[in-house]
Amino acid sequence: MNPAPAPKAPLAEWLSWLEARNPTRIELGLDRVAEVWRTLKQEGKLAVPKVITVAGTNGKGSSVALLEAILLAEGYRVGAYTSPHIERFNERIRLMGADITDHQLVDAMHQLAATEGSEALTYYEWATLAAFLAFCSVNLNIWILEVGLGGRLDAVNILDADLALITNIGLDHQAYLGDTRSQIGYEKAGVLRAGRAAVYADTDPVESVIEHARAIGCPLLVRGTGFMVEADATEWRLGQGNHTSYWPRPGMFGRAQVDNAAGVVALLQHPESPLGISSSSIEEGLRSAKNPGRFEQWLHEGRLVILDVAHNLESVRVLLDNLHAVATPSRRFAVFGALDDKPIEAMASLCRPEFDDWYLGRLDSVRSASVARLSSALDHPLIRETSITSAYNAAFARSTVGDQIIAFGSFYTVSAIRHVLSQSGAHLV
């Protein structure tokens, strides 16, 4: 393996070195990362405060953003770790609501590189421990950790969650987690701990999560039995036992954000929660939370451009539901690129009736689906381009004022088009 960069080398050099270590390698398991973390704690006497872990198939990023906004409003000192990033690696690690600085990130990476055993870590494990080190370098009292893949064997699960949230269970990453929702649910339930507050917010809960919580003695609140949710155009209601509370709709767009908010509020108000949160802080956080790349709307020369990281069937259904809630345009164009391990044919079949034309491009990833595979999934007039950026440019050139352009299918899709928009004079709506 190439030697690590110099301690004060620019962040770009550290990231290039990290990416050269095979960033697509996925190797679930806690042994490697736990051993390195033990070494770091012995050497640095690192302390971990309260931990909130968020698992699930979809809605994790939005739930983390809601938790972060609410806890900051309450006055807690909060660190948040999410993945993947959209434009900059720094987005994965937030300290007090702001992306980590290059200097802070380089310091964490240098400390990690000097630790025995770090050479065996995967890209994601490296990022996770870098986040932990960065959190320890400042005075935080809550860490919010988003699971990257699964839960039971995900790197963040080396820490015991004081509160755990499972958003929902869908069919994704079956090669690693299992072929059924029950199997996947068991993997995600691995973040639960005995005696620690937890919420399972799925609108269609699977029994494997509930059974695991019962087996280990986790006080799990399940949507539909432990709490109820109802919503109208202006507010939503959370019912817990004999108590009903009323909350503003989240500032983030879409009906699914009410589901995310319900899980978050139910968790923060769990009878076993060690945190104290006021109603005013919850209301403030619900209104102010933002999560880039989730039905993100841009206006550019009279066209509405919508970016969405929807990359599996459940998230595509949410995207379509959101599209039905906005004004119907003259024409609606799809800009689509996806990773090769996604259910592209099923995604395309679901979306095909919603778009007048399709513009297909390859993503900037070795895991990208080929344009040929994307094309074969669609029985529809379409434009094939070499890259997702050129696909967007072709769609924009064809469009006129009043049209909509929807770019979706992957974080890589959103990353590429978001960069184009930010350089073009477009602005967020």
Query: Which range is least confidently modeled, 51-65, 160-174, 398-412?
Result: 160-174
Cα dihedral: 411, 143, 192, 67 (round 10): -70
Q: How confident is the model at residue 1 (pLDDT cuts 50, 70, 90)?
A: low
**Is 26 a residue whose pLDDT tops 80?**
no
Residue 24 pLDDT:
66
Structural domains in the chain, CATH included, are: 11-288 (3.40.1190.10), 296-428 (3.90.190.20)
Q: Is the peptide bond before 271 cis (omega within 30 degrees of 0)?
A: no
Task: Pick the more confident residue, 176 or 209.
Answer: 209
Q: Which residues contact 350 (CB under 8 A, 6 or more apart)?
A: 313, 316, 317, 320
Cα dihedral: 145, 148, 149, 154 (round 10): -50
Q: What is the pLDDT of residues 189-233, one digit of tens each?
A: 999 999 999 999 999 999 999 999 999 999 999 999 999 999 998
Residue 174 pLDDT:
67
Residue 7 pLDDT:
86
d(CA 174, CA 341): 9
pTM value is: 0.94
